[in-house]
Amino acid sequence: MANERIALGINLRKNKNSTSTAFGKYYPEVDVQKTLSLRGFAEHMVMHGSIYGRSIVEGVLLQICDCLPELVAQGVPVQLGSLGTFYPTAEVKEKAAVLNIPAMDGLNPNDIVKAIHIRFLPDSTKLDNLCGPQFKNRCTLELRNIIDTQEVIVNGKTKKMQTLKPIATAVAEWKEANGSSQNENSGTSGSGSTPTLTITKTGSGTSSVRVDGDVVNSGATVQSGKTINIHVEPATGQVPTATLNGQSVTLTDEDGAYDGTATMPAANATLVIDSGTAGGGVDQN
């Protein structure tokens, strides 16, 4: 078991910030598992060939948990071999800088220090380098899920619920829906395979554009075949219009507000919304 190399899961999360240049793109984050207790860690060490039993290993770890904070609290960094070093840092209170040397006379450090943090610096020597890119070489990465967070109402309160969808399932669903073996995005950021939607708004009213329930701003990338939802609230007495790549989009009047849908083409598209033009392009039925 000591030589078994278990994969480190990587999930992907979509950027839903419509004001971000990275809007609509997916970024990796670690699939963090359940935290291992100190006893579980001791048992793990014993299973890796320790000559000591769990009770002894656990006892040593408990002693470390007592002594390490004690020393760091005294300003003594503690290096645990090739693992790295634990050391203290001070967090300054907001607007608590000392103005000059005379102000230091009788100064109470508690008036300027908000907190003391225990920091960890991984070992960076050539033989035992645990820093970023080098530590990645110790990991076997495995793509797992698309992770999403939705707001739901539970007992009248808004709560955030996290959902996971296997990436293989998401890719299969996309292929089935689009009748293509191509991926939604053939590569990482900058590949350009997902078309861009340019939105131009004119008129004296207000309008919004959404895809999959998320607000979309001009310049966002939108998967071809996706439904573009258009909502327009024109000024009093005005009738709005909308066109996608020059083709009129039907807008339906619902109590003074107008809604319509269009399908994102395979190439870059331009959506023009006029919230104040009188007449034309509207289904009055």
Asked if residue 151 and residue 27 are part of one domain, the reply reads yes
Output the domain CATH number for residue 92: 4.10.520.10
Asked if residue 261 and residue 202 are part of one domain, the reply reads yes
Would you mind telling me the total number of residues written for the chain in this entry?
Answer: 285
Asked if residue 248 and residue 178 are part of one domain, the reply reads no
Residue-level pLDDT, tens digit, the chain, 285 residues: 445 678 999 999 999 888 888 888 999 999 999 999 999 999 999 998 889 999 999 999 999 999 999 999 999 999 999 899 999 999 999 888 888 898 889 999 999 999 999 999 998 887 778 888 888 888 899 999 999 888 778 788 888 888 888 999 988 888 888 765 444 444 554 444 578 899 998 888 889 999 888 888 888 888 888 899 999 988 877 888 999 988 889 988 877 888 899 998 888 889 999 887 544 433 333
CA 195 to CA 225: how far, in whole Å?
A: 10
Asked if residue 132 and residue 55 are part of one domain, the reply reads yes
CA 199 to CA 183: how far, in whole Å?
A: 25
The dihedral through the CA atoms of 127, 129, 134, 136 has a sign that is: positive
Contacts 24+ apart (CB under 8 A), 44-53: 47/1, 47/2, 48/1, 48/2, 49/2
Asked if residue 39 and residue 132 are part of one domain, the reply reads yes
Q: Give me the pLDDT at residue 277, please.
A: 55
The 10 Å Cβ neighbour count of residue 251 is: 24
Nearest-CA neighbor of 244 among 260, 266, 262, 259? 262
Q: Are 210 and 264 in contact (CB under 8 A)?
A: no
Q: Provide the domain limits for residue 11.
A: 1-33+140-191
Q: Which residue, of 109, 136, 163, is where some domain finishes?
A: 136
Q: Element (H or E) spanning 118, and its range?
A: strand 113-122
Asked if residue 272 and residue 148 are part of one domain, the reply reads no
**Phi/psi at 206 (5° precision):** -125, 155
Asked if residue 238 and residue 108 are part of one domain, the reply reads no
Asked if residue 278 and residue 242 are part of one domain, the reply reads yes
Asked if residue 234 and residue 168 are part of one domain, the reply reads no
CA 133 to CA 143: how far, in whole Å?
A: 18
The structural domain count of the chain equals 3
Asked if residue 175 and residue 118 are part of one domain, the reply reads no
Q: Give me the pLDDT at residue 179, please.
A: 66
Asked if residue 149 and residue 29 are part of one domain, the reply reads yes
Asked if residue 177 and residue 40 are part of one domain, the reply reads no
